[in-house]
Structures are given as structure tokens and as C-alpha cells.
Amino acid sequence: MNSNKNIEIVVVKDAKEGGKKAFELVKQSLEDGMKVIGLPTGSTPETMYAELRNSDLDFSNVTAINLDEYIGLPADHEQSYAHFMKEELYDTKPFKETHIPDGLASEEEETARYNKVIEDNPIDLQILGIGTNAHLGFNEPGSSFDSLTEKVELTEDTIEANKRFFESADEVPRYAYSMGLASIMSADKILLLAYGENKAEAIANAVNGPVTEEVPASILQKHKDVVFIIDEDAASKL
């Protein structure tokens, strides 16, 4: 099943159970003194965020750094990731600081600023989703394993996957700022969440395939401490 020794795989029956397991891991990290957490957006982490919102966990000494943001959307746009994070977590749970790329800032300034944020706040626990094409954040196939925060062009696959959140595919932003793969790999511990059969191939390639920039998530095989929480459907090709 899992020939890769660095990646611990926890198979759950559904996203609800996955959210509970992820919550336990976040709670454990807090108890172990976590100061900085890296957070994802999208539908995958929603069950985990629900568990965190409804808990008595205290994040007032924790800094949160988000993976990515669409370019061209103001923070108060209802499809911006800044808005998503406020709704899902930040309005309920106060953090010491929260950081998310500014989708309206210029590329040169914003990538430099965000890289400095990550450099100044080494990530203890980085939580990730995974795209059907095995992207992490918006690091699409072909992204350099050495990448830091950068402006990325979204693939047609990603635009297609995200258009359900917009009126039409034409409204989906074409670019985003994303934490790079080297930035993600700098985290002390990594937790990846994936649910559904459409993620099964990406999971299999990430865990057991060759480490290649064509499968961005395959870089996780090189990390010292990775946990995958996936449902039975996402695990079906392992």
C-alpha cells in the first residue's frame, strides 16, 4: 500500500471523521508548543475548521500563515481566500497574527513581503489540501521544488475545479500568489487532507510515484514528518 516510510497515512471513512482527526493533530501540536501554523483554503479543510471553531482551543499565541490568494480580488470579495478564512476560522478564533497574500499588491513587493513573513515565522505545522493534478497551494505541475512565494498562472484544471465558486469560469481569477514548494517544505511537520475518488490518483502519485516536478506533491516524500489524512475513496489507488 504505502511503500514510502516518511509518510504516515491515516485512512478515515469520510471528511467528517477526517476533520476530527485533523483537529486532534492540531490540538496535539498546540500542546507541544506550536507557535506558527500554515493554513489552506478550499472545501477540503472545512470539516477541520468546523471542529476548530467549535472547540475551546486557544490560538491567541499562534501566528497563522495562509498558503495562497487570488490576484485581483480585494480581501473583502466573497470569493477571496481572506474572506473565506474570516468566515471559516478567524472571526471565531482570534490568532496572535494572521497573514494572507494581498491579491491587489504588486508582484515584486508582495512576493518579497510574504517570503519575509515566512522567514520570520518558521512554520511548525503546515496543513495542505491537494489538487486533482497533485498541486499544493497553487503550485501547479512543473513548479520548481525550489520555489518560494510567487505569482502563479492557474491551469485550466484548477480554473475548472474552482469555477463552481463563481458565477462562471470567466470570473475565476487567472493568477494567484502562492507559498512556494520550498516554503511548504520548510515546515517542521506537514499534514495533508484529501477526500474523494477524484483525489485518488494524485494521492497514489504523491506517495508512491517518482519524485518529480510534474507531481508537485511528490516532494513530500523528501520531508521528515508528513501525515496524510484521507478517506477510503482517496486511498483507493494506494
- Annotation says 66 is catalytic: no
Confidence band of 2 (pLDDT split at 50, 70, 90): low
The whole-number pLDDT of residue 168 equals 86
Confidence band of 185 (pLDDT split at 50, 70, 90): very high
**Per annotation, catalytic residue among 69, 140, 150, 233:** 140
Whole-number Å distance between alpha carbons of 198 and 88: 24
Produce one character per residue of 168-186: b if its CB has 16 or more CB atoms within 10 Å, e if not: eeeebbeebbbbbbbbbbb
Residue listed under C-alpha cell 498558503 = 67
- Annotation says 110 is catalytic: no
Percent of the chain with pLDDT over 70: 98
The gap between the terminal CA atoms of the chain, to the nearest Å, is 5
- Domain residue ranges in the chain: 16-208
**Per annotation, catalytic residue among 99, 135, 150, 205:** 135
Percent of the chain with pLDDT over 90: 89
Query: What is the overall mean pLDDT for the chain?
Result: 95
Instruction: Please give the model's pTM, rounded to 2 decimal places.
Output: 0.95
Helices (H), the chain: 15-31, 46-53, 81-85, 107-120, 156-162, 181-185, 200-208
Whole-number Å distance between alpha carbons of 90 and 96: 11
Q: What is the pLDDT of residues 53-106, one digit of tens each?
A: 999 999 999 999 999 999 999 999 999 999 999 999 999 999 999 999 999 999
From the list 78, 76, 68, 70, the residue with the least C-alpha distance to 45 is 68
DSSP letter assigned to residue 136? B
Give residues with Cβ within 8 angstroms of 167, minimum separation 6. Answer: none
The whole-number pLDDT of residue 3 equals 55
**Per annotation, catalytic residue among 4, 66, 121, 133:** 133
Please report, as a single letter, which amino acid is at residue 119: E
Is residue 186 over pLDDT 80?
yes
Whole-number Å distance between alpha carbons of 64 and 56: 17
Question: Hey, what CATH class is 16-208 in?
Answer: alpha beta
Please report, as a single letter, which amino acid is at residue 183: S
Instruction: Look up residue 145 and give its three cell numbers.
Output: 521544488
The total of other beta-carbon atoms located within 10 Å of residue 147's CB is 20
Confidence band of 164 (pLDDT split at 50, 70, 90): confident
Phi-psi map region of 204: left, alpha, beta (phi>0 left; psi -120 to 50 alpha): alpha
**Per annotation, catalytic residue among 51, 68, 124, 150:** 68
- Report the range of poorest mean pLDDT among 71-75, 130-134, 155-159, 205-209: 155-159
- Annotation says 133 is catalytic: yes
The answer to whether 99 touches 81, Cβ cutoff 8 Å, is: no
